[in-house]
Amino acid sequence: MATTRPGFEETWLELPDWQTLVALVNGELGLGWLMYMRWNGDAGFSSRNPGYDGPPDAEIEYYLSNGQRDLYPASWAFPVGEVRRALDYFEREHRPPPFITWNNDSGDGQLIGEPG
């Protein structure tokens, strides 16, 4: 876990087969989002929160370990406890957590849980 600024976190969990789960956390809001990559260079998948009921254009600020400021849709975020649960699951099971709703950002049509 890299501390980027007080209250912000960037976590990368990388497995030997290149699978990677990334979490960005805005601790001030108690929210974070996830990105799952199947291999090095994969556009991968990003989290979506089907329970989000806020404004459709709302964004959340995150800071990366290099100081870069990014904004991502609030509808992608989960409470930080759920983000940590997802990280723990990935570290233990070596696969993306099935309790997270994933959006395929690579455009290849594959769904989480489908054989490669």
Q: Is residue 3 predicted with pLDDT exceeding 70?
A: no
Could you tell me the CA-to-CA distances from 109 to 42, 50, 96, 102, 103 in Å, in that order? 13, 20, 16, 12, 10
Count of CB atoms situated within 10 Å of the CB of 67: 8
- Confidence at residue 27, expressed as pLDDT on a 0 to 100 scale: 94
- Confidence at residue 111, expressed as pLDDT on a 0 to 100 scale: 86
- Confidence at residue 5, expressed as pLDDT on a 0 to 100 scale: 79
pLDDT-derived band at 30 (thresholds 50, 70, 90) equals very high
Tens of pLDDT, residues 64-102: 999 999 999 999 999 999 999 999 999 999 999 999 999
Question: What residue ranges do the domains of the chain occupy?
Answer: 2-104
Q: Is residue 39 predicted with pLDDT exceeding 70?
A: yes
Tokens of 17: 């087969």
- Confidence at residue 114, expressed as pLDDT on a 0 to 100 scale: 56
Average pLDDT, whole number, for the chain?
A: 93
Q: Which residue has the tokens 């989000």?
A: 52
Using CB atoms within 10 Å of the CB of residue 30, give its burial: 0 to 12 exposed, 13 to 18 middle, 19+ buried.
Answer: middle
The DSSP result for 38-81, as a single string, is SSTT---EEEE-TT--S-TT-EEEEE-TTS-EEEEEGGG-EEHH
